């Protein structure tokens, strides 16, 4: 029996993140725990298999040697399009963090609702890690997150409210 799209995406993302021994910053857990958490959050709202696959793959192009062309060849144009919308477009040479985040914010603002829903799930899971483990960075991340929330309103309304509530709490 052939594996379904979501299973293949999970296995692909696991291998990609393991290939560089990527770990979660505050816990040291294998990085794949984050994409799995993002996919599980997306599963709680209306979604498609392509959205779940993209949730598993959302950091692969940004963090590993995998390219968007490889994602498209393996998972098709819809998953690749979603991953592309979820991948930061700024580069270190674009300037400081604030400048880079402004560039990425502009990119996210143009994303389709499905990508915005996945991005909201990403923000929710990152908040769970950053807020308790790094209060200093939380202040910076919270400001960036609030700016993103302003452009992610077309994402799932329940996730938008959840992300908003998470960042409203000091």
Per-residue model confidence as pLDDT tens digits over 106-138: 999 999 999 999 999 999 999 999 999 999 999
Q: Are 75 and 57 in contact (CB under 8 A)?
A: yes
Percentage above 70 pLDDT, the chain: 98
| C-alpha separations of 13 from 75, 116, 126, 142 in Å | 12, 20, 18, 27
pTM above 0.85, yes or no: yes
- Which one-letter DSSP state was computed for residue 112? -
Q: Which CATH superfamily is domain 5-168 in?
A: Hypothetical protein af1432 (1.10.3210.10)
Q: Exactly one of 7, 11, 29, 62 is catalytic; which is it?
A: 62
For residue 90, how many C-alpha atoms fall within 13 Å in the half-sphere facing its CB? Answer: 17
pLDDT for the residue numbered 170: 52
- Which one-letter DSSP state was computed for residue 2? P
Domain ranges of the chain: 5-168
Q: Exactly one of 63, 74, 104, 154 is catalytic; which is it?
A: 63
What mean pLDDT is predicted for residues 22-30?
Answer: 95
- Which one-letter DSSP state was computed for residue 23? B
Q: Does residue 62 have an active-site annotation?
A: yes
pLDDT for the residue numbered 33: 98
């Amino acid at each position: 029996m052939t594996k379904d799209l979501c299973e293949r995406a999970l296995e692909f993302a696991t291998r990609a993140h393991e290939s560089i021994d990527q770990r979660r910053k505050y816990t040291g857990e294998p990085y794949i725990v984050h994409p799995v958490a993002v996919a599980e959050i997306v599963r709680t709202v209306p979604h498609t298999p392509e959205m779940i696959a993209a949730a598993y793959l959302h950091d692969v192009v940004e963090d590993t040697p995998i390219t968007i062309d490889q994602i498209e060849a393996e998972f098709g144009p819809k998953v690749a399009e979603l991953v592309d919308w979820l991948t930061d477009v700024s580069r270190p040479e674009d300037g400081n963090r604030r400048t880079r985040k402004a560039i990425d914010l502009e990119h996210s603002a143009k994303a389709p609702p499905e990508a915005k829903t996945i991005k909201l799930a990403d923000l929710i899971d990152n908040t769970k890690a950053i807020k308790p483990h790094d209060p200093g960075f939380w202040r910076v991340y919270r400001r960036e997150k609030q700016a993103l929330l302003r452009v992610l309103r077309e994402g799932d309304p329940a996730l938008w409210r959840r992300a908003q509530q998470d960042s409203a709490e000091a």
